[in-house]
A and B are shown apart, each in its own frame.
Chain A
């Protein structure tokens, strides 16, 4: 069953009078439980596609659905709610809130959802343990290594039990050992929790781990290979 579906999704950027086609008629279906990678060189449209699927940006034309919701027709507020309740984000630069501790960063979305204190505590402690950050809960992002920060970001992305985790080059700033550890972790979470992961990456290590590889070039899907 498709958790993400797109129909002729296109995005055109206009700068001055120049038009740049970032995505052209992308038709895609991501199945629930997928561990998929969007690969392609820089400028191929990976991040643009993730932004569309993550309801962070609007397409110029075409439509997209996530977990049954048509993202492209939602209001700003509804897109915000959709992101909060259905999508987990992992970014290349971790993007943690610097004034919050690791625990608070992971807890934040649950607070926005209005989850009770007890349930938050249980969930966040469990997640931080799962990502290997037990004992570091009260550290602020600047007191953590890059790998540890990205683990916090993974915990934050998973805290709301999202339908899908969208990860934009999540290992681009990590050394290879940390990268392997994180990929192991995400694979494990995908297996254990059944969470759908969609990455964008041009890193061979990440591409190797993917069970589905979607290659983009100049905004067009040029191949879509399943490796189950």
Chain B
């Protein structure tokens, strides 16, 4: 009977109930859209970041983190590769050499970050492979070729097929140079990346650096980026010990991590504001409804309805109005998210290539990514906040004194 009363009370002021319900639905949908787009954007940024960087997880010498140098390399990566290449959850592993040096042509010289990669490995450096502006990607793991960013190529006034000289410190600390011919030029969309990064076959660098089969890092890419922590814990137990360690991308790319965290904080702030506005709307509706029904609640208590039952009735009204709103918001929010997950939010009118930020690239077409636990979190927050807002009117109603409430109209 309490449920029936609550439902009919809501129906009695249909327009007011409808407006509040629509408010909750729109707020929920807006928050879902915002969460989906935010998480999707972050995921794109992280994925691009780890593609440019050293994977979701990285094996490298512990000392490399403090002061990166090609002298701090893993002399024998094979035992690590043996564990990593067949480990569940690991999509691919790429041995790499990272270092800094000077790239020179007959016209200019520029400081660069070079990456030694194995171009024969499927999926390696696919971000660059997919952004070829001129020429070809590296074709052999020991060829004397270089693949560099467009901005860097422009500064060096170099074209495909032309010669460059890469100068760097070898593993013994001696300055050494190697002649490399430009195989291709990429355009990633990030001027920072296009102006500093160049790729060289790993075998060529191993020879030039005098590191044998050594590498500075093993970049690990995961099947499911959200399972990173679980895979990390498993690998930590399985990998050989020693002076090499396993690192999260969050440790190796702190700028990206901090940006995502900060953006999340602002996101939560916005959701909190939306939810607060929703909750005020619910409070207003329920409070008005209780005040208008003062006499009626007086009658109910006069004929024997206890304070607890009155409290439950008002809370049930709040819960009902909220649940209907959430259901509407879910339908709308999921539909909008689905649309933007398929078609993306096209921001190419602002930038055709995207934006570089925190060592990564933000795609100009942002795709929504809504995970079930985020939907659950939001719906629970909306429900709990609304029902909490219903407590004050419910307590007020439960304390109704029948004689006062039923004073002659």
Contacts and interface: CB of A to CB of B under 8 A. Distances in A.
Contacts of B300: 97
Interface string B41-84: 00000000000000000000000000000000000000000000
Interface stretch (A23-31, A75-83, A178-186, A210-218): A75-83
A89 B302 contact: yes
B307 A93 contact: no
A77 B296 contact: no
Given A91-B406, A93-B409, A112-B309, A156 B303 contact: yes
Contacts of B11: 99
Task: Name the prevailing secondary structure of the B interface residues.
Answer: helix
Interface string A82-96: 011100010111011
Interface stretch (B1-9, B190-198, B248-256): B1-9
Interface in B167-191: none
A80 B307 contact: yes
A100 interface: yes
Contacts of B309: 112
A109 interface: yes
A65 interface: no
A109 B402 contact: no
A54 B4 CA distance: 27
B357 interface: no
B20 to A, nearest CB: 18
A153 to B, nearest CB: 10
B305 A112 contact: yes
B304 interface: yes
A136 to B, nearest CB: 19
Interface in B261-296: 295-296
B408 A93 contact: yes
B403 interface: yes
Given A97-B5, A100-B8, A89 B409 contact: no
A104 B4 CA distance: 10
B210 to A, nearest CB: 88
A77 B399 CA distance: 11
Contact of A98 (B4, B296, B305, B402): B296
Given A56-B403, A91-B406, A93-B409, A84 B304 contact: yes
A9 to B, nearest CB: 15
A97 B296 contact: yes
B244 interface: no
Interface in B359-409: 402-403, 406, 408-409
Contact of A95 (B1, B4, B8, B299): B299
Contacts of A99: 5, 8-9, 11-12
Contacts of A95: 295, 299, 302, 406
Interface string A41-74: 0000000000100101100000000000000000
Contacts of A111: 1
A84 B9 contact: no
B301 interface: yes
**Residue among A54, A96, A97, A160 facing the most chain B CB atoms (10 A cut-off):** A97
B22 to A, nearest CB: 22
B283 to A, nearest CB: 22
Contacts of B1: 104, 107-108, 111-112
Contacts of A76: 307
A25 to B, nearest CB: 21
Contacts of A92: 408
Determine which residue in B5, B9, B295, B302 has the highest number of CB atoms from chain A within 10 A of its CB, and name it.
B302
A160 B12 CA distance: 28
Contact of A77 (B302, B307, B403): B307
A219 B306 CA distance: 30
A80 B11 CA distance: 28
B203 to A, nearest CB: 82
A51 B401 CA distance: 12
B303 A109 contact: yes
A79 B304 CA distance: 8
Contacts of A112: 1, 303-306, 309
B303 A84 contact: yes
A93 B1 CA distance: 23
Given A95-B406, A99-B9, A109 B296 contact: no
Given A76-B307, A80-B304, A112-B1, 18 more contacts: A56-B302, A77-B306, A80-B301, A84-B304, A89-B302, A92-B408, A97-B299, A97-B300, A98-B12, A99-B5, A100-B5, A104-B1, A104-B4, A108-B1, A109-B303, A111-B1, A112-B303, A160-B304
6 contacts: A83-B304, A91-B299, A100-B4, A100-B8, A108-B303, A160-B304
By Cβ-Cβ distance, the 10 closest A-B pairs, closest first, are A84-B304, A99-B8, A111-B1, A95-B299, A57-B403, A83-B304, A80-B306, A56-B403, A56-B402, A112-B304
Interface of B: 1, 4-5, 8-9, 11-12, 295-296, 299-307, 309, 402-403, 406, 408-409
